[in-house]
Structure 1
Amino acid sequence: MKRSELHDAIVVITGASSGIGRATAHAFARGGASVVLASRRESALQETLQECERLGGRGIVVPTDVCEADQVERLCEKAVERYGRVDVWINNAAVTLFGRLEETPRDAFEKVIQTNLMGCVNGAREAIRQFREQGHGRLINVSSMVAHSGQPFTSAYVTSKWGIRGLSECLRMELADAPDIHVSTILPASIDTPLFQRAANYVGQPVKAMTPVYPPEKVAAAIVHVARHPMREHFVGNSGRMMAALRTVAPPLGEKMMERKVNSDHFAQDLPIEPGSGNLFHSDGEGAVRGGWIEREHGGTSSGMGLALGLAAVALPLALYAYHRQA
């Protein structure tokens, strides 16, 4: 899909009411694409569509709970009914949960898996059926850097994101007979979205975005790039790329570093809070692209200093580890 072709593209985006999904809708709209926006919150989707129209795009809103296969089927039907085809399908809808496994309610854990992983499965099934019928298409699954490196207190989210990465790999092989159908995986690092404010929390401490924090527009730009130039996997944020490399070269060191990073940087030093299910079972909160984490951590400046410190924190132990291995 070349730049000139973006003007005519039909793009389905799940989780389009806020965060990465909303930023992605804006990015495609700037290119003149037609966007089919899906999430549980119709009012926020309508706001997103109005923003897209002001940016030069056009589209429709289809309220959808990706956990429900019949609703995702309806989403695809509505897109094809309106536009005749789907060129790009972006599985982006996600929720998260913080808590030790043994202290996490079973239904809350399962809801994260249903939304993130099974929602992606439901979307991929409909997208691929449509792509095969029309002979082309680009499926983009939004995973996470934690698909390469686990984390404590987020086992449901990590499990779902590893699953998405594995699903994408399987689909690429299944689609070997369809050279014009491409499957790509996006692997964002810590992104400035409202995900953390809306997270289910059974830790007893407020959570925050882990530094370094990257803007959601950076992920949106990566998704547009992959739609034009398909690739297997695409990291967004060097901290994720470096952590994945460390986890591959020195697994014990990578696990220890991630454990310490989460314990020291993923929880706010505020008063304890009561456990709660966040937005797992009920969609709430205003639709917004950003969560305000970059401003909180860096006083409104870019995350460059946090990035530099984050990379140094990873690169130095990796170099020391390599040195001692050779000694």
Structure 2
Amino acid sequence: MTARVVVLTGASSGIGRAAALTFAARGDMLVLAARGLADLEKVAAECGGDVLVVPTDVSVRTEVEALAAAALARFGRIDVWADTAAVMAYGRFEDLPPHVFEKVIATDLLGAANVARAALRVFRTQARGTLILTSSLVGHITAPNMAAYSTAKWGLRALTRTLRQETLDAPDIHVCELVPGSVDTPIYTSAANYAGFVGRPPPPVDTAERMGEAVVRLAGHPRRSLSVGATNRFIEFGFSALPPVYDVLVGPLMGRLGLSRRLPAPPDDGNVFSSRPRHGGGPARLGRTAVGAAVGAAAVAAVAVTGGAALAIRRGMRR
């Protein structure tokens, strides 16, 4: 194996932590960044070896630039930069305080732009490098109570596509998009919450380790986009091909599967503005194999509604 220099933003938990451990097992040299120093140091200790830890808020451009400079000062180059940093907010759009909505955009979209800008400047100088930006299934669909996160991830999808177009003149510079479905990470329970109940990933839920492996796979074999989730394609199809059906079903499903009705949550900014201790797991997790009756019910309902609409049109034509 050839050791690479890998910068990971959002490395203190979830997908970023899982990717760090997988890169470390491979023998790569790591630069770990996130807002919380204590959590970063724990991950660095788990990785072992010569790990550089740089506390960084990706929404602050100067901090991201300082991170790139620190990586170059220590290792002399950056081969891979993977950004998994993100925050989330639950609640109807009109219930979200404007400053919370704006901070989610600043972290999840503008923060990714700061990372891309810093990484591409290094990659242009080197004439090579791989940038991995972590999008989301919610960057390809929409769901109630997730307006800020979805808006940011849709914007990130556009940014990623544009960056690929702008680097066509540099065949050894790669811009990749990772599209996770539901993943068991602390982002749901750490989120700002104005929806009244604790958030959770709707089923089927993948492990952070599976997504971390996907990040490492993209680093070794870059591709434009990698979607990882048992029902990602099915949900995207419903969103695009059957929008009236999707819009009718997504609200009740989100309320039932994406929020735990057993755990009320008072209004709170979560970790949107500052790092907080994060805890894995959460209420009523459902694993990857438990796609569940909800998905099956959604499929049956979609077929029934579509069939009913087609029958009504056919009867109308006969008249």
Give the aligned CA root-mean-square deviation in angstroms. 1.9
Q: CA shift at 1:18, angstroms?
A: 0.6
Q: 1:96·1:195 contact (CA, 8 Å) conserved in 2?
A: yes
* Structure-2 residue corresponding to 1:297: 285
Distance 1:282 1:116 in 2: 14
Distance 1:257 1:227 in 2: 37
Residue of structure 2 aligned with 1:30, choices 1, 25, 32: 25
- TM-score of the two chains, using structure 1 as the length reference: 0.90
* Structure-1 residue corresponding to 2:68: 76
* Structure-1 residue corresponding to 2:133: 141
Distance 2:83 2:166 in 1: 18
Are positions 1:312 and 2:312 aligned together? Answer: no
Distance 1:217 1:110 in 2: 30
Distance 1:164 1:218 in 2: 22
Distance 1:309 1:167 in 2: 36
Distance 1:91 1:75 in 2: 13
Q: CA shift at 1:317, angstroms?
A: 4.5
TM-superposition CA deviations, 1:87-126 (whole Å, max 9, x none): 1111110000011111111110000000110110000000
Count matched residues.
311
CA distance 1:221–1:152, shift in 2 (3 Å): same
Distance 2:263 2:14 in 1: 26
Distance 2:6 2:115 in 1: 13
Distance 1:262 1:274 in 2: 19
Q: 1:242·1:314 contact (CA, 8 Å) conserved in 2?
A: no
The runs of at least 4 consecutive aligned structure 1 residues that moved more than 4 Å come to 308-311, 317-327
Please list, as runs of the form range in 1=range in 2, the aligned pairs for 1:1-327 lying within 5 A after superposition. Answer: 4-5=1-2, 8-53=3-48, 58-270=50-262, 272-286=264-278, 291-293=280-282, 296-298=284-286, 302-304=287-289, 306-307=290-291, 309=293, 311-317=295-301, 319=303
1:174 alignment partner AA: E
Distance 1:312 1:65 in 2: 41
Q: CA shift at 1:71, angstroms?
A: 0.3
Q: 1:151·1:262 contact (CA, 8 Å) conserved in 2?
A: yes
- Secondary structure in 1 matching 2:214: helix
- Larger radius of gyration, structure 1 or 2? 2
Q: Percent identity among equivalent residues? A: 40
Q: 2:201·2:285 contact (CA, 8 Å) conserved in 1?
A: no
Q: CA shift at 1:308, angstroms?
A: 5.5
TM-superposition CA deviations, 1:134-192 (whole Å, max 9, x none): 01011100010011110101100000111111110000001110111111111111110
Q: CA shift at 1:310, angstroms?
A: 5.5
Q: CA shift at 1:271, angstroms?
A: 5.2
Moved more, 197-206 or 169-178: 197-206
Distance 1:27 1:260 in 2: 37
CA distance 1:75–1:149, shift in 2 (3 Å): same
Q: CA shift at 1:260, angstroms?
A: 2.2
CA distance 1:254–1:14, shift in 2 (3 Å): same
- Secondary structure in 1 matching 2:261: coil
Distance 2:78 2:305 in 1: 48
- Secondary structure in 2 matching 1:138: strand
Distance 1:168 1:308 in 2: 33
- Secondary structure in 1 matching 2:189: coil
Q: CA shift at 1:319, angstroms?
A: 4.8
The answer for unaligned runs of 5 or more in structure 2 is 315-319
Q: 1:171·1:183 contact (CA, 8 Å) conserved in 2?
A: yes
CA distance 1:31–1:296, shift in 2 (3 Å): same
Q: 2:128·2:172 contact (CA, 8 Å) conserved in 1?
A: yes
